[in-house]
C-alpha cells in the first residue's frame, strides 16, 4: 500500500520558512524591475495584434490521457496563434511519439533528461510537488508574449484563449484566471475563484486592513499571463510548508502577494473530469485511494 502522507520534520518547516522569507524579500522588487523593462511592450496592445501565446503542459507517462484531453483541447482552440510545449518529466512511455504524430509545427515536446531526489515518496507529496520541475522547465523555454497553462488531464472550452486574451488586454491585467466545472462522484459543479485574503488560502489581512488589494484567483489550468512573469518559479520546497502546500496554490498566492495585477473572469473556462479509474478529481482522489493515485497522478 502506498503511504498517503509524510510527517514534516522541524528541518522541513525551517527550510519552508526561509524559502518564504526569501520570496517575500525579493519578488516584489524583481517584479518592479521586470515591469520597468517589459511593461511598455503591452501599453498599446490590442487583441487584433494577434499576439503569440505560449501554452505548456507538464506531464509524466500519461501519453494517452494527454492526447485525449489537453492536446485535443489546445488544438481545438478558436485562437490559433500559439506554440504548445509539452514537457515530460523524464517520460519513458509513448508521450513523445503521441505528440509528434500530430505533425503540427506549433506542437513540441521536450523531455527532462533525468530525475533526481525531490521529496520523500508519498502520494501526498506527488500531489503537492510533482509537476514543479517540468513546469519550471517549460517557463524557462517560453517563447511568446503571453503564457497559458493546461494540465494533461484537463480540457479548455473552445474559446478559452480568445476570451482570456481579450479580457487580459482590455483590463490591462498582467495575470488572469477563471472558473471551472468539475465532476466529483458523478456530480458536476462550478468551482469559482477565491480571494487571496480569505478562508480558502488562510491568509489574514495584513494588520487587519480589509481595504488592501485582494484579487480573486482561479485554478491553475485557467491562467493566462504576461511572459515577463515567467521569471517567477514554482516552489520545489512547497511540500515542506504547513499550509498552502500545493505547488500551484503556493505559486498563485505568491503572485497575488507580490502585487501582480490579477483579473478574474467569472466564466467556466475549464472542464475537469476524473481520470480513468478514478471517481473524483484533485486531492480528493489522492486521499481516497493512494495506490490508484500513485498510478494515475505520479510525477
Looking at residue 276, its pLDDT comes to: 86
Q: Please report, for residues 54, 124, 190, 265, the alpha-carbon distance to residue 268 in angstroms, rounded to integers and kept in the order given.
A: 21, 28, 7, 8
Query: How many domains, the chain?
Result: 1
**pTM, two decimal places:** 0.96
- On whether residue 154 sits in a domain, the answer given is yes
- On whether residue 289 sits in a domain, the answer given is no
Contact 75, 83 (CB under 8 A): no
Looking at residue 71, its pLDDT comes to: 97
Mean pLDDT along residues 23-32: 97
Q: Does residue 1 carry a pLDDT above 50?
A: no
Type and span of the H or E element at 211 = none
C-alpha cell at 222: 485557467
CA distance 149 to 227: 12
Place of cell 518564504: 20
- The tens digit of pLDDT for each residue in 281-299 reads 877 777 777 776 666 667 7
Q: In angstroms, how far is the first alpha carbon of the chain from the final one?
A: 18
Domain range for 24 is 10-179+192-267
- On whether residue 225 sits in a domain, the answer given is yes
The CATH number assigned to the domain holding 101 equals 3.90.550.10
Of the two residues 263 and 125, the one the predictor is more confident about is: 263
- On whether residue 55 sits in a domain, the answer given is yes
- The tens digit of pLDDT for each residue in 198-234 reads 999 999 999 999 999 999 999 999 999 999 999 999 9
Q: Where does the chain show beta strands of DSSP type E?
A: 53-59, 82-88, 107-111, 146-149, 154-156, 175-184, 187-191, 194-195, 216-217, 224-226, 262-272
**Nearest Cα residue to 132 out of 108, 143, 155, 116:** 116
- On whether residue 299 sits in a domain, the answer given is no
Contact 262, 215 (CB under 8 A): yes
Amino acid at each position: 500500500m502506498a503511504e498517503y502522507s509524510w510527517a514534516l520534520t522541524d528541518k522541513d518547516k525551517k527550510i519552508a520558512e526561509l524559502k518564504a522569507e526569501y520570496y517575500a524579500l525579493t519578488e516584489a522588487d524583481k517584479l518592479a524591475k521586470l515591469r520597468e523593462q517589459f511593461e511598455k511592450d503591452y501599453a498599446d496592445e490590442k487583441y487584433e495584434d494577434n499576439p503569440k501565446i505560449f501554452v505548456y503542459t507538464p506531464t509524466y507517462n500519461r501519453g494517452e490521457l494527454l492526447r485525449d484531453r489537453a492536446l485535443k483541447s489546445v488544438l481545438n482552440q478558436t485562437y490559433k496563434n500559439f506554440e504548445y510545449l509539452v514537457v515530460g518529466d523524464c517520460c519513458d512511455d509513448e508521450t513523445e511519439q503521441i505528440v509528434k504524430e500530430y505533425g503540427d509545427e506549433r506542437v513540441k515536446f521536450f523531455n527532462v533528461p533525468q530525475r533526481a531526489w525531490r521529496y520523500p515518496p508519498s502520494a501526498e507529496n506527488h500531489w503537492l510537488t510533482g509537476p514543479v520541475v517540468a513546469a519550471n522547465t517549460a517557463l524557462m523555454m517560453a517563447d511568446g508574449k503571453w503564457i497559458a497553462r493546461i494540465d494533461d488531464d484537463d480540457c479548455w472550452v473552445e474559446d478559452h484563449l480568445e476570451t482570456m486574451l481579450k479580457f487580459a488586454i482590455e483590463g490591462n491585467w498582467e495575470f488572469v484566471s477563471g472558473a471551472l466545472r468539475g465532476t466529483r462522484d458523478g456530480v458536476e459543479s462550478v468551482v469559482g475563484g477565491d480571494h487571496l485574503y480569505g478562508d480558502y488560502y488562510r491568509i489574514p489581512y495584513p494588520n487587519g486592513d480589509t481595504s488592501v488589494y485582494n484579487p480573486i484567483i482561479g485554478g491553475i489550468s485557467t491562467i493566462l499571463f504576461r511572459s515577463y512573469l515567467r521569471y517567477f518559479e514554482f516552489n520545489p520546497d512547497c511540500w515542506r510548508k504547513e499550509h498552502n502546500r500545493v505547488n500551484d496554490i503556493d505559486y498563485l498566492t505568491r503572485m497575488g502577494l507580490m502585487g501582480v495585477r490579477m483579473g478574474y473572469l467569472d466564466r467556466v473556462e475549464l472542464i475537469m473530469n476524473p481520470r480513468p479509474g478514478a471517481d473524483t478529481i484533485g486531492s480528493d482522489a489522492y486521499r481516497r485511494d493512494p495506490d490508484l493515485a500513485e498510478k494515475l497522478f505520479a510525477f
